[in-house]
Chain A
Amino acid sequence: MTGTPVLDVRNLTRVYGDGATEVRALDGVTLRVERGEYVAVTGSSGSGKSTLMNILGCLDTPTTGGCLLDGVDVGRLTDAQLALVRNRRIGFVFQEFSLIPRISAVANVELPLAYHGIKPAERRRRAMSALDLIGLADRADHEPHQLSGGQQQRVAVARALVTESALLLADEPTGNLDSHATEELLSVFDELNAAGRTIVIITHEPGVGARADRLITLFDGRIVEDSRQEPAGRHAAAA
């Protein structure tokens, strides 16, 4: 693949705390992700997966090292520019259900568009088509507590993709889902990747990792394996 990589991180470290309680969550991570790739990051619990993901998503800042997003060094951006990057370039799906309580599913999906400056009518239309894509258009008016865990996670995915950002980051999106809900969510990812989106997904489930075309393994804050693989079990790609 050619062109600027979507992600280009060099020698990332992230240290939590100091002195006796110091934890090196990331210890020199260098990584490039090209446009259109579908990357799965695995590793045991505490190996630094979430820490890496949060830095890639501009939610956290590294202790040392830099992160280029579409060739832009995010470390040099102001607070306002960072907000813009999060809004336009990245869709983030958290491990925990991260919908805003007491507002409807469609209102949740609309939020990034509202910060994008899009008019209400257009917002509603695009949010509805995103919900349609993940198969929850009929639940648009439900509040998060009226949805199952899997449905909430899919709404979160709809919210991450509604701005049509090129990069989708998901931190153990299937962690709390049963196999059926997992399968539904993964087929959404397959479709999105087939449509050209770059996806980075964290998982510790081998079946989930197998769907990606690149598998990265973290151990104690370092990349110990980075291999391309033939994706297994996809539906959308086969179509």
Chain B
Amino acid sequence: MSLPEIVRSAFRGIGANGPRSLLTVLGILIGVAAVILLVAVGNGSAQGGSNTLTIMGTGLTMKIAESLDDPVLAPGVRSVSPVAGTSAILTWEGAEHRSDSFMGTVPGWFTAADSPVETGAIFTADDEAQARRVVVIGRTVAEELFPGTDPVGQRVTVGGALFSVIGVLKEKRDAGDTAVAPISAVQQVLAGYGPLSAILVEAGDASPADTVEGQVSAILDTKLEPGSYRVVNASQPLETRTATARAFTTLLGAVAAVSLLVGGLGITNIMLVTVAERTREIGIRKALGAPRRVILAQFLVEATLLSVIGGGLGVAVAYLGSHFSIAGVQPVIVPGSVALVLGVSVLIGIFFGGLPAVRAAGLRPIDALRYP
């Protein structure tokens, strides 16, 4: 029998044993899709989040902040946000709230600090240029000053000046007691034109925070006394987060591997249930003069086809599934996991699908025919 004929005969075998073939394909499909998706979810949870450096020190100025926005010397920098912070008392209709973190900054800060607004809007570059008195307040400030009222559109008094509330920040752990206004307005009204309290530097997607830290430090060293500033790598917490995510991925991977194993056992079970039937069939084929090599080829090709079909469909399902966010995480498929899982599942299918055939092909026909 030629190879194309063996393949055709294997296809016929798959078709003739419909339910069994379907179960095998399904078992591999579920195992493969589960592993790829779970790993993708773990991987997805590790991605995203800001990648920010905070520069603190004495003698930070707007000039220095501007010098950091340098595509040549610091190509890894995406945005620079000078921050003038102070403490201030906000009042509204007799209610009073003291915030230790009344910040003047630029619109880029909201992205850099990963602090988007929940309601309302952030201020614009134009607001900043015109030193408009607008403010975005944190959740704590909103609750203290405006219980039961929508703060957006209200005007609060800060340091004797009126600021319009234009937005409320999304809740963020330990950062609710904040108010953010254009730096020009804050300097005018509150902080004065002295040194900045910090500069936030956001690194670009492709630039590791460490690299950008080097670029920034090189610039700062030319402008400031060494030791008069420090760069806090805010991606430190991110790194811990990545480590957590990595642990999470490993955990999910382990769960997934177990599900693949269980899937594999299911396949094996299906195969073993039919061993008696297949062994007898092989006995008949041997009695009719089938060479061992042809029997092996037919059953191995059959097992391989089933595993490859199951594995391929599993990958397809995983790719489809990765378009939906799962438990709030957008899965990001890890190509390595696809290759690994596909390889493992196909091997499981071939091994357990082919094993009975390999064994039976070595039996004397009469022993195969008499298989209990």
Residue of B whose beta carbon sits closest to that of A88 = B289
Report if B125 contacts A (CB, 8 A): no
Report if A17 contacts B (CB, 8 A): no
The answer to whether A98 and B289 touch across the interface, beta carbons within 8 angstroms, is no
Quick one: CB contact mask for B268-299 with A, threshold 8 Å, 1 for yes? Answer: 00000000010001001111111111100000
Q: Which of B58-66, B177-185, B236-244, B363-371 contacts A (4 or more CB under 8 A)?
A: B363-371
Residue of B whose beta carbon sits closest to that of A159 = B288
Contacts of A94 in B (CB 8 A): 287, 369
The answer to whether A111 and B288 touch across the interface, beta carbons within 8 angstroms, is yes
B interface residue count range (under 10 / 10 to 19 / 20 to 34 / 35 or more): 20 to 34
Q: Which of A26-34, A66-74, A113-121, A191-199 contacts B (4 or more CB under 8 A)?
A: A113-121
Chain A interface, number of residues (Cβ within 8 angstroms): 31
Q: Pick from B12, B281, B289: contact of A83, CB below 8 A.
A: B289
- Decide: A60 near B289, CB < 8 A? Known: A102-B17, A115-B1: no
Q: Please, how many angstroms separate the alpha-carbon atoms of A87 and B365 in the complex? A: 13
The answer to whether A86 and B16 touch across the interface, beta carbons within 8 angstroms, is no
Distance between B371 CB and nearest chain A CB, rounded to angstroms: 12
Question: For window 47-103 of chain A, which residues contact chain B by CB distance below 8 Å?
Answer: 54, 57-61, 79-80, 83-88, 92, 94, 98-103
Enumerate 13 A-B pairs (CB-CB under 8 Å) in ascending A order: A59-B364, A59-B366, A60-B364, A60-B365, A83-B290, A83-B291, A86-B287, A86-B365, A98-B287, A100-B285, A101-B281, A102-B17, A114-B1
Contact surface of B with A, Cβ cutoff 8 Å: 1, 5, 9, 12, 16-17, 277, 281, 284-294, 364-366, 369
Contact surface of A with B, Cβ cutoff 8 Å: 54, 57-61, 79-80, 83-88, 92, 94, 98-103, 111-112, 114-117, 120, 159, 163
13 A-B pairs besides A83-B290, A84-B289 with CB distance below 8 A are A79-B292, A80-B292, A83-B292, A86-B289, A87-B288, A87-B289, A92-B287, A98-B287, A99-B284, A101-B16, A103-B16, A111-B288, A111-B290
